[in-house]
Structure 1
Amino acid sequence: MTALGFLYPGHSAEDDYPRIEQLLGSDIRVDLVHTDIGEDAHRVDALREMGAPERLAAGCEALRLAGAEAVVWACTSGSFVYGYEGAHDQIRTLAVTAGMPASSTSFAFAHAVGEVGAHRVAVAATYPDDVAQLFADFLGASGVEVVSLHGAGVITAAEVATWTVDDILGLARTADHERADAILLPDTALHTASHIPTLEKELSKPVLTANQVSVWEALRLTDRRVNAPELGALFTREPIVQV
């Protein structure tokens, strides 16, 4: 049994995690601890407070007691908002505090883009434009070219959590670009676990979503690879071989 630990901000789309655990169809356990988000707002100051070390540290003991082997801070905006180096510092601190390998959804996206063999991406963000641009900047610093960026301007995770698959597909189509090898949906408040095959079929390219890549990243940290076609191209590709 491999136990994966997640620190999840508040209550929005946390039901994606037991759904993903079910779809993995293997000896994988997903343990999720909710963190205090403070103010629910896609605003830089509020997001930096959401990802503060003391807020993340508060959930680490519960994950240790659950036997988690790795921890992922399952929040995209609460990590990339610190910038590339600041996000690195955040997960280094988290790893020391938790006493286990650590990462965040922002780095999960950067790693997952490479896993599916993409070089250029479109970003379909629920965030306001200024926050969406910070994610694009983070990806650029990670070596990922963003050829299209669209922010939907949604302020709260609570509103994002109400979105339907049609809402998500509409956002993705708006952001898509003919040069994009993959489409990224960077918000863990979006319910996407049940919709990834539909999104990939409609958009004809890999779709990477926040909760999906967070679980994949935790598996990567524990050296596990699981074939799960219902979770999209990310969970069905063979490893990329660097020549």
Structure 2
Amino acid sequence: MTTVGLLYPGHSAEDDYPRIAVLLDSDVRLPLFHTDIGEDAHREDALIEMGSAARLAAGVEELRLAGAESVMWACTSGSFIRGWDGAHEQIRALAQAAGLPASSTSFGFVHAARALGVERVAVAATYPDDVTACFGEFLEASGLEVTSTRASGIVTAAEVGTWEREQVLELAKAGDDPRAQALLLPDTALHTVAHLAELEAVLGKPVLTANQVTVWEGLRLADRRAWADGLGRLFVRPDWDRPEWKPDGERDPAGNEARE
């Protein structure tokens, strides 16, 4: 059993996580604690306060009692808004409070892109222009090249949570860039899990979305690999990891011991 604890702000698209759990192995658990969102606004001061150490620490004990092996701050804007260094400080404080490995959705995007060998990304965001620009700067600080960004001007997570398939597809198509190797859809308030396969089929490239990379990052911290159909290329089992491709104990290209 692998358990990834999720700190999720408010109530918007948290039902993406049970969907992911169903698609993953039956021994992956994703207990979720709703943090106090404060003011629901995609605005710098509100986002900084939403991700304050006190708000995040409030859910740590409950997730620890649930058996969490890693803890994720399941929020993109509430982490990258602090900048590259500030987001690291936020996660260090969370890890200390939890006594567990910790990360955030923003770092999940960076590590997922690297895992796929992606260097150039496009961003299609629900946020206003200034917040979207902050995400682009965060990605650039990580070493990724951001070929383009598209903002939607949505101020609240509550409104983002009402978006349906057609709006998600429209955002993705409008925000894609032929120069980009992958498209990133930030905002854990956006329902995307049910549309991942279609998004990648339409765009012909990997699509990384907030709730998807949050779970992937939490599993990475727990040293657990998990593969699943329907969760995009990020969760597709690589050929070198298929049991029929190597004997027990052979090392994969990253130098890790093979685990079935």
Q: TM-score, normalised by structure 1?
A: 0.97
Please give the alpha-carbon distance, in whole angstroms, between the structure 1 residues aligned to 2:169 and 2:93. 36
Give the aligned partner of residue 206 of structure 1.
Answer: 206
Unaligned runs of 5+ in 1: none
1:138-197 alpha-carbon deviations (Å, 9 max, x no partner)? 000001100010000000000000111110111111111111000000000001111100
Question: Which amino acid counterpart does residue 92 of structure 2 have in structure 1?
Answer: R
Question: Which amino acid counterpart does residue 128 of structure 1 have in structure 2?
Answer: P
Unaligned runs of 5+ in 2: 242-251, 256-260
Please give the alpha-carbon distance, in whole angstroms, between the structure 2 residues aligned to 1:25 and 1:86. 34
Residue 11 of structure 1 pairs with residue 8 of structure 2: no
Please give the alpha-carbon distance, in whole angstroms, between the structure 2 residues aligned to 1:220 and 1:184. 19
Equivalent residues of 2:183, 2:205 under 8 A apart: yes
**More moved, 208-217 vs 171-180:** 171-180
Equivalent residues of 1:132, 1:149 under 8 A apart: yes
1:16-27 pair list within 5 angstroms: 16-27=16-27
How many residues matched?
Answer: 243
Question: Which amino acid counterpart does residue 165 of structure 1 have in structure 2?
Answer: R
Please give the alpha-carbon distance, in whole angstroms, between the structure 1 residues aligned to 2:230 and 2:18. 14
1:112-151 pair list within 5 angstroms: 112-151=112-151
Please give the alpha-carbon distance, in whole angstroms, between the structure 1 residues aligned to 2:253 and 2:81. 31
Residue 229 of structure 1 pairs with residue 255 of structure 2: no
**SS of match in other structure, 2:178:** coil
Change (3 A) 1:176 1:241: farther
Q: TM-score, normalised by structure 2?
A: 0.91
Question: Which amino acid counterpart does residue 42 of structure 2 have in structure 1?
Answer: H
Give the aligned partner of residue 215 of structure 1.
Answer: 215
1:190-229 alpha-carbon deviations (Å, 9 max, x no partner)? 0111110010001110000000000000000011111112
**SS of match in other structure, 2:41:** coil
Question: Which amino acid counterpart does residue 15 of structure 1 have in structure 2?
Answer: D
Change (3 A) 1:92 1:231: same
**SS of match in other structure, 2:148:** strand
Q: Flag the structure with larger Rg.
A: 2
Note the C-alpha offset of 1:26. 3.2
C-alpha RMSD of the superposition: 1.3
Please give the alpha-carbon distance, in whole angstroms, between the structure 2 residues aligned to 1:242 and 1:29. 26
